[in-house]
Chains A and B, each alone.
Chain A
Amino acid sequence: MKAAKYLAIFRAQLANRLAYRGDLLVGSLSILIFMFVFLQLWRVTFQAGGSSTIAGLSLQQTMWYLLLTESIYMSKPRLSREISEAVKDGSIAYLLNKPYNFLLYHFSIGMADSLSRFGFNLLSGGALLWLLVSPPPPALGWPMVLVAVLLAWGIDFCIQALIGLLAFVSEDVLAFDWIYQKLLFILGGMLIPIDFFPSWLQKVAQALPFQYAMYGPARLFVQPEAGQFLKLLAGQAAWLAGLGLLLTIAYTRGVRRLSVNGG
């Protein structure tokens, strides 16, 4: 019953987004810039290395990997800013007395936004890569990748919501948000596959949740294997459970110390 409520919110938001398909398409054009620059960079890098693969990845695989990480990143909402604004301006108080859970409401809305943008980002960037590089990886792996991407957004949601809730104790959370984005860029493997890291840094990245929000799904996309998928799923589920628990505790405590003046 509860799940149906949030599913309805998700569906309504998705329909809302898809009603403006032109906006989504225009909004997805930015990915063309990034993919074009990456293509120039990695093309000369592979040429300079004189080898057809680097750490087991070909140029084609590297480019499709980067398309997926960019799409995951560019599609997700800036949730931490929304939540921190709601905390700072007190509008959270109006949302708390509605017949839904504040966090699950944002989760449903965020998932709908992410999914709609993801489709269009993949479409635009994918068309460019198909034209300039190669056809996409085998479609057989796509359903597994979609599951992994949804879980990746789940992990990202928990971390962003935790950052947003820091507004209960900190005047400004913008700096925390920037740092988190950069952790995704580097340790999440968004700008460069973790396979290209020195081995000590690979170990650091593997011990943290960021790679499950970016690298894992993208790596699966270019080399889909059932075993790898199950391993990724287990890692994502474990981090999701841990971060979800932490978020629930932070939210409950934050709401308890909420004080709103006026109204």
Chain B
Amino acid sequence: MRELRFLLAVWKANLISAMEFRLSFISQVVGMMLNDAAYFVFWIIFFERFEFVHGWGLQDMVLIYGLVAVSYGVGLYLFGNAMLLGDVITKGQLDYYLSLPRPVLLHVLASRSQLSAAGDILFGLLTFFFAGQVTLDAFARYLLAILGSTVIFIAFLVIVQSLAFWLGSVQVLGTFATNAIVTFSIYPSRLFDASARLLLFTLVPAMLVGAVPAELVRGFTWGRAGLLALGAAVFFALAGFVFYRGLRRYESGSAIQIQS
């Protein structure tokens, strides 16, 4: 509860800071919505020509694409430093967070909001109304799916970026991993063969970020909900373990600064 109040205060501060440059914030949000919509034109063209591929059609694509957009958006709007954690570690900037009486990982992740991610959230929520099932039940499943998907997405980024404690710079690896999870997550699982699917459930958990939550929205089964919950719990625990294990190796950058 104490942590939640702390997070709310950090997010509020981020929002106030963004509002200082209101025009830039709005243009980034609207720009990102247009950006997401423009990318989706590819799928409209694709299904205009091919209609169904492996029983998979435009509405399935709307659902999975929108859901991943919201998860990505929620994750990076609320925990915007997840993609930059490696940089924070290698530049010795954890000193600042370590000197404060708050959970280090949570504080680092939440202390920055990726403003354009708000556009992903809005775009994704809008697509829900075009994905076929517009009922309260489906929307509740949608929110549940987003929660699981966001936790797994952010946890995966934290694991990859925390490797900076051992490897030094993880810029290239981080870009590669982010590209991988985003690219693979917007496709249905049946597109991939068994060995690729195994990798996409474990090493790069893209199926848990896109396909499984999307199937949960299509229809609730305890199996799907359990798989998503299990994935979220495992990746959440793994992210905490890897980060705090690495933190033991952290060497100060003498970067403690007093911020007023």
Which residues in A have some Cβ–Cβ distance to B below 8 Å? 23, 26-27, 29-30, 33-34, 36-37, 40-41, 44-45, 48-49, 171-172, 174-176, 178-179, 181-183, 185-186, 191-192, 196-198, 201
Contacts and interface: CB of A to CB of B under 8 A. Distances in A.
By secondary structure, the A interface counts as: helix
By secondary structure, the B interface counts as: helix
B35 interface: yes
Top 3 nearest A-B pairs (CB, nearest first) are A175-B31, A182-B38, A178-B35
Contacts, number: 91
Contact of B32 (A45, A171, A178, A185): A178
B30 interface: yes
Contacts of B201: none
B185 to A, nearest CB: 11
B45 A175 contact: no
Interface residues of B, number: 34
Nearest to A179: B34
Contact of B31 (A45, A178, A196): A178
B38 A175 contact: no
Given A175-B34, A179-B38, A186-B38, 15 more contacts: A23-B172, A29-B172, A30-B179, A37-B184, A40-B187, A41-B53, A48-B52, A171-B24, A172-B28, A174-B27, A181-B35, A182-B34, A183-B38, A191-B42, A192-B46
A45 B53 contact: yes
Give the interface centre of B34, B49, B54 by most chain A CB atoms within 10 Å: B49
Contacts of B50: 45, 48-49
A196 B179 contact: no
Contact of A48 (B24, B53, B187): B53
Nearest to A49: B50
Interface string B39-79: 10110011011101110000000000000000000000000
Given A44-B191, A171-B24, A178 B53 contact: no
Contacts of A23: 172
B23 interface: yes
B42 A198 contact: no
B181 to A, nearest CB: 10
Contacts of A45: 50, 53
A172 B42 contact: no
A65 B175 CA distance: 24
B149 interface: no
A174 B38 contact: no
Interface of B: 21, 23-24, 27-28, 30-32, 34-35, 38-39, 41-42, 45-46, 48-50, 52-54, 116, 172, 175-176, 179-180, 183-184, 187, 191-192, 196
A171 B27 contact: yes
B172 A37 contact: no
A111 B184 CA distance: 31
Contacts of B187: 37, 40-41
Contacts of A186: 38, 41-42, 45
Nearest to A181: B35
Contacts of A171: 21, 23-24, 27
17 contacts: A33-B180, A34-B179, A40-B191, A171-B27, A172-B23, A172-B27, A174-B27, A175-B31, A175-B32, A175-B35, A178-B34, A185-B39, A185-B42, A186-B38, A191-B42, A196-B45, A196-B46
Give the interface centre of B21, B27, B52, B184 by most chain A CB atoms within 10 Å: B27
Contacts of B30: 175
